[in-house]
């Protein structure tokens, strides 16, 4: 793997500790937002001197910016294997925005799993929630039963859990949905940074993802998917750009991505997102996956060697898992553990319920958990520091869970 192209902007970042020393930051919160790649920052910097409003201006900077914006769309389509006629790539603010957009386009019920992030749960007004079973294949059988009992327009599932990192068999899910006349949406917010996704080859109808989890800065997501529902639905943001012709009493809306991209778009965000896709597309992702699996195994085994610690798993099978390990420790408060790791070890994890309350409840963790997620900058030293920190935290009285009477 070419480590030069994969260099991140936060390389060498130092953070303060409680005793006023500083130390190198060990980032274990990639699943929330990943730091940008240096190449992404270069791409934004090179677009900055001459940017102008897209699609409308006649000046040279406007034409150059329009060209960059549309090339970003094409790059992202290719990255996700969706560069075929019949699919649109709509730019959005993030995954949540993309799912809300699609929710206005779906002509019927939506079947989801209880493991979904709230972003792939709350927007679906007509949702039918399927509980997970003990294994991935039993869960597929439960979905099959739901879809055969009553027709649905869409099966909307995550590509990988943002809590446990477990990967779903997206090709099989697509076949299952299609067998029952439903389409399939993959929430790729967590899967895309870790695995190559080929939308057309896997039979995926819709895919959503966020640039800020894929090594670009905040502000841009995508909805990629079949054109017909998108072109038939009312525009997501009514206004200039979405409308082709307007009279005092009527309007003709554009079809295509423009229909849902009313207003001036986040062009620099689109350029950044595409630059990150370009870097990842040019990288040996098989090697990245192998490195990530080695680090994730070390993290999981190290944590599981700590007395009283339980790592969270949805399924009792040995399917694929991306670089996320969440855990609870008997008698410990997750937020206090996270705070101690930051203050005394310079380690950034996340504590809480990760916008997946139904899943946390199903896992028996309604009081929350700690999540450690890894990415391109993670080293073995970072992992060993995290494990040493958790080992200290579990016996530290400041991390003891307070009972209600205290």
| List 355, 365, 392, 399, catalytic entry | 355
Contact partners, residue 339, CB within 8 Å, separation at least 6: none
Burial, 49: exposed, middle or buried (Cβ in 10 Å; 0-12, 13-18, 19+)?
Answer: exposed
DSSP state letter for 84: S
Under rule CB under 6 A, residue 326 binds ligand PMP = no
Rounded to whole angstroms, the Cα distance separating 66 from 69 reads: 5
Nearer to ligand PMP, 31 or 309 (CB): 31
Binding of residue 158 to ligand PMP (CB under 6 A) = yes
Least Å distance between CB 279 and ligand PMP? 19
> Could you say whether residue 95 binds ligand PMP (CB under 6 A)?
yes
User: Does 189 engage in binding with ligand PMP (CB under 6 A)?
Assistant: yes
Site membership for ligand PMP, residue 190 (CB under 6 A): yes
Q: How far is CA 249 from the centre of its chain?
A: 41
Nearer to ligand PMP, 349 or 387 (CB): 349
Q: What is the DSSP letter of 11?
A: T
Query: 177 or 209: whose CB is closer to ligand PMP?
Result: 209
Least distance from C-beta 30 to ligand PMP, angstroms? 11
Per rule CB under 6 A, is residue 166 in the interface with ligand PMP? no
Closest alpha carbon to 374 in 195, 209, 194: 194
Q: How far is the CB of 255 from ligand PMP (least distance, A)?
A: 26
CB of 130 to ligand PMP, least distance (A): 17
By CB under 6 A, residue 162 contacts ligand PMP: yes
Nearest to 350 by CA among 359, 341, 358, 360: 341
Q: Which range binds ligand PMP by CB under 6 A, 183-191, 291-299, 375-383, 393-401? A: 183-191
Residue nearer to ligand PMP on the CB measure, 121 or 253: 121
H helices within 17-59, ranges in order? 38-47
Residue among 387, 288, 384, 389 at smallest CA distance from 339: 389
Q: How far apart are CA 324 and CA 37, in angstroms?
A: 20
Question: Catalytic residue at 355?
Answer: yes
Strand partners, 8: 37
Segment 133-136 long-range contacts (CB within 8 Å, at least 24 positions apart): 134/315, 134/316, 135/315, 135/316, 135/317, 136/166, 136/168, 136/169, 136/315, 136/317, 136/319
Site for ligand PMP in 197-216 (CB under 6 A): 210
Three-state secondary structure string covering 52-81 = CCCCCCCCHHHHHHHHHHHHHHHHHHHHCC
Contact with ligand PMP (CB under 6 A) among 88, 117, 127, 194: 117
382 near ligand PMP, rule: CB under 6 A = no
Q: Which of residues 221-240 bind ligand PMP (CB under 6 A)?
A: 221
Is 187 among the residues that bind ligand PMP (CB under 6 A)?
Answer: yes
Closest CB 213 distance from ligand PMP, rounded Å: 6
How big is the site for ligand PMP, counted in residues (CB under 6 A)?
14
Per CB under 6 A, the segment of 117-125, 256-264, 306-314, 324-332 that binds ligand PMP is: 117-125
Q: Could you give the CA distance from residue 329 to residue 327 in angstroms, rounded to a whole number? A: 7
Question: What does the alpha-carbon distance between residue 214 and residue 40 come to, in Å, rounded to a whole number?
Answer: 11
Look at strands 206-210 and 221-226 and give their pairing.
antiparallel
373 touches ligand PMP (CB under 6 A)? no
Q: CA 358 → CA 112, 160, 163, distances in Å?
A: 12, 16, 11
Q: Which stretch binds ligand PMP (CB under 6 A): 54-62, 176-184, 186-194, 252-260?
A: 186-194
Check residue 34 for interaction with ligand PMP (CB under 6 A). no
The Cα–Cα gap between 129 and 344 comes to: 41
Single residue of 27, 65, 75, 96 touching ligand PMP by CB under 6 A: 96
State yes or no: residue 139 binds ligand PMP (CB under 6 A).
Answer: no
Interface contacts to ligand PMP, rule CB under 6 A: 94-96, 117, 119-120, 158, 162, 187, 189-190, 210, 221, 355
Catalytic residue annotation: 355
């Amino acid at each position: 793997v070419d480590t030069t192209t994969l260099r991140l902007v936060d390389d060498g970042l130092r953070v303060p500790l409680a005793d006023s020393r500083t130390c190198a930051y060990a980032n274990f919160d990639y699943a929330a937002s990943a730091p940008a790649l240096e190449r992404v920052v270069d791409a934004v910097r090179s677009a900055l001197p001459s940017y102008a409003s897209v699609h409308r201006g006649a000046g040279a900077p406007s034409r150059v910016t329009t060209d960059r914006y549309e090339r970003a769309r094409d790059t992202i389509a290719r990255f996700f294997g969706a560069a075929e006629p019949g699919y649109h790539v709509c730019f959005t603010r993030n995954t949540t925005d993309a799912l809300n957009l699609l929710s206005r386009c779906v002509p019927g019920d939506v079947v989801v799993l209880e493991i979904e992030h709230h972003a792939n749960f709350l927007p679906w007004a007509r949702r039918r929630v399927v509980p997970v079973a003990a294994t991935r294949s039993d869960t597929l059988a439960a979905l099959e039963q739901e879809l055969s009992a009553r027709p649905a327009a869409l099966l909307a599932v995550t590509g990988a859990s943002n809590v446990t990192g477990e990967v779903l068999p997206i090709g099989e899910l697509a076949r299952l949905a299609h067998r029952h006349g439903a389409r399939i949406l993959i929430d790729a917010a967590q899967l895309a940074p870790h695995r190559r996704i080929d939308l057309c080859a896997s039979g995926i109808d819709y895919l959503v993802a966020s640039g800020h989890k894929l090594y670009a800065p905040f502000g841009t997501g995508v909805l990629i998917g079949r054109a017909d529902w998108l072109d038939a639905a009312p525009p997501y943001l009514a206004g200039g750009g979405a409308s082709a012709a307007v009279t005092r009493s009527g309007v003709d809306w554009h079809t295509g991505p423009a229909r849902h991209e009313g207003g001036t778009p986040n062009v620099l965000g689109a350029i950044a997102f595409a630059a990150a896709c370009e870097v990842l597309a040019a990288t040996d992702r098989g090697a990245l996956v192998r490195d990530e699996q080695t680090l994730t195994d070390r993290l999981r085994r190290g944590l599981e060697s700590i007395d009283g610690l339980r790592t969270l798993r949805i399924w009792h099978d040995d399917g694929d898992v991306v670089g996320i390990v969440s855990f609870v420790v008997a008698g410990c408060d997750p937020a206090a553990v996270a705070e101690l790791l930051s203050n005394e070890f310079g380690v950034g994890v996340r504590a809480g319920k990760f916008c997946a309350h139904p899943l946390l409840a199903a896992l028996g963790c309604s009081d929350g958990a700690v999540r450690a997620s890894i990415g391109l900058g993670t080293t073995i030293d970072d992992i060993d520091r995290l494990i040493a920190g958790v080992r200290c935290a579990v016996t530290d009285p400041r991390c003891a869970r307070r009972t209600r009477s205290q």
